[in-house]
Amino acid sequence: MLLYYEILFALSVLFSMIYAFMWNKHFDANITLVFFLVPVNILSHLAVAQAANQETAILGTQVIYLTVLFNILFVFLTIVELCHYHLPKPVRGCLVGLTILFYLPVLSIGHSDMFYEDVSFETGNSISMLTEKHYGPWHTILYLWIFVCFLLCLIALVYSFIKKNDVSHRIILMLFIPVVTSMLTFFVGRVISSKIELAAASYVFAQFAYLLIVHRLELYDINESALESLVQKGNTAFISLDFRLKYLGSNETAKQWFPFLKELHVDKSVKENPKCQATILSWIRDFNEGKIDDDNHIHYHLENGERIVHVDVNHLYDGRRKRGYQLFITDDTTDVKNIEFQEKFNTVLRFEVDQKTDRIMKMNDHLLVSMATMVESRDPFTGGHIKRTSEGVRMLIEEMKKDTALNLSKKFCQSVVKAAPMHDLGKIAVPDAVLLKPGRYEPEEYEIMKSHSAEGAKVVHEILKDTDDEEFRRIAVNVAHFHHERWDGKGYPEKRSEHDIPLEARIMAIADVYDALVSKRVYKEKMPFEKADAIILDGMGTQFDPSLEKYYVAARPQFEAYYLSQLNADATQSDEEEKKD
């Protein structure tokens, strides 16, 4: 049995030495105390196991309880820090006070029945121990307190794992496993074994887990690791002052750039120093008065004029308390000069690129419209349909843009208008015998004509599959595919209903039907505006999206004015052709 404790003690000392080698000032003090208490705990167990008399065994037991109580407290405080909880100092003080309060009755062992009513000492060839212990009331209370501390640790870890995104799950798991192990061995070990303390092994295991944690601790401490990186890099200057404008210190880079800093004494006010007034104090004053930009940035030319530095002014924090001012100063000379050059170059380049981009976009738009017009030319009965429906879509979009509740993006509106001419591209796949028929379609012919929407989606997808504008490609495909769907689900090709129909297709449907109503077809005469308007309004909620009704009503005068202008233009063209004949 002694060998068990000797091995554990050797391991705990080894782990503590490794921790001491790894230690730096950013490690939480509670972890350091854990690495101190575990070897003391194991050593106390070893002392009890080798005790020559009852008094020595009792003293060792008292130290064991001391290390156990404070070890679990420091583990809890470590979890609080690593999981980024804010535990006020009064609460921390109360936890320490309660731990001491619950420990005090342990000191009465051998003198009072508060903790142990009765205890005897047994020594053998292999191990010594306190036996036949009859527990007093404070023993039960102390164990309840230990259980509460374990429970608080588990609650904090589980909550952090589920709710907190700023804590590494790996760290939480590495904390969770030793806590659970220690809890089980502490309570269960007293049931299954009376010769050795199983919890002692769990404490050593916890040390190993904490070594893994501290190995990565600085990587997760963004503030400290970033600051250390800046300091080591060597091209960032740091200057610190307290709120009374007493000089706290600066690094070597700052002293090279601002030689007057070498003359300053730590803890002496810089108010009377003229060079400080022109630089440091001036920057702090502007910071306090909010005269610098949102990022607290200032550009300053050093005395030799060859270096331009970037000054970032912020408060100096001690934990969560503001204690003074911290100035971070970086060399911005190259960046500033590069920016000045780039701004001049970019102004010229941007103008040329904008011009060329505009020409390319116009050419692409013209090609798309030309392709749609070429397909439309196969159908001699719907001349001008593409142009008119595109204008109808534009007028509806203009009214919708006025409604801020819709929150339509500028890109979406432009894409819908740009996609409108492509809605009937699928007619290229309709046979001439059907497309050119001078009259109403038979049912089977109508089914063939209905295929143009699905075919149009395929054609548009193939045309735009290599475009970088993914949003426009999607909108154009939807317009071609679903502009014959109905709000009540009785349309084609997929019988979609309501909001399953893309918004762009619902807009296209109104402009498409309106043009079909007020335009002449081989199977009907053009319809008066009043009758076409009544049909459109009657279709709101069945054929069309009822939420678009108010935009159609607002655009209706524009629709009528536009179609009247087209009618007059057609009449003028017809008169000119007759004169030529």
Burial class (CB in 10 A: 0-12, 13-18, 19+), 296: middle
Q: Of 258 and 441, which is predicted with more confidence?
A: 258
Amino acid, single-letter form, for residue 484: H
Q: For residues 576 and 519, which has the higher predicted lDDT (pLDDT)?
A: 519
State the pLDDT confidence band at 213, using cuts at 50, 70 and 90.
confident
Residue 76: which residues within 8 A CB-CB, separation 6 or more? 95, 149, 152, 153, 156
- Please state which CATH number belongs to domain 225-331: 3.30.450.20
Span between the terminal Cα atoms of the chain, in Å: 123
Q: Give per-residue pLDDT as tens, 92-123.
A: 999 999 999 999 988 888 788 888 877 777 77
Mean pLDDT of the chain: 81
* Band of residue 296 on the pLDDT scale cut at 50, 70, 90: very low
Closest residue by Cα to residue 137 from 108, 110, 117: 117
Is 536 in contact with 556 (CB distance < 8 Å)?
Answer: no
- Structure tokens given for 44: 């106390």
Which range has the worst mean pLDDT, 231-245, 287-301, 508-522? Answer: 287-301
| Closest of 505, 482, 509 to residue 493, by C-alpha | 482
Q: What residue type is assigned to position 228 of the chain? A: E
pLDDT for 499 equals 94
- Answer whether 263's CB lies under 8 Å from 285's CB: no
Report how far apart, in Å, the C-alpha atoms of 359 and of each of 322, 354, 364, 372, 422 are: 57, 9, 9, 20, 21
CATH number of the structural domain 366-580: 1.10.3210.10
What integer pLDDT is reported at residue 494 of this predicted model? 93
What phi and psi, each to the nearest 5 degrees, are found at residue 490? -100, 15
What is the three-class DSSP state of 72? helix
pLDDT above 90 coverage of the chain, percent = 25
| Domain 2-220 CATH class label | mainly alpha
* 334-375 pLDDT, tens digit each: 666 666 566 666 676 777 666 765 665 555 566 566 555 555
Q: Where are the domains of the chain?
A: 2-220, 225-331, 366-580
Query: 14 and 206 in contact (C-beta within 8 Å)?
Result: no
Over residues 62-97, the pLDDT tens digits come to 898 899 999 999 999 988 888 888 888 899 999 999
> Which one is predicted more confidently, 16 or 355?
16
Residue 72 CB neighbours (<10 A): 26
Poorest-pLDDT segment among 247-251, 382-386, 397-401: 382-386
pLDDT, tens only, 303-345: 555 667 788 888 888 767 888 998 888 877 766 666 656 666 6
Euclidean distance between CA atoms 51 and 197, whole angstroms: 16
Query: pTM here?
Result: 0.44
For residue 312, the SS3 value is strand
More confident residue, 230 or 508: 508
CA distances from 48 to 45, 55, 352 (A): 5, 10, 87
Helix (H, G, I), strand (E, B) or coil at 527: coil
Q: What's the CA gap between 495 and 501, in Å, rounded?
A: 9
Specify whether the CB–CB gap between 538 and 531 falls below 8 A: no
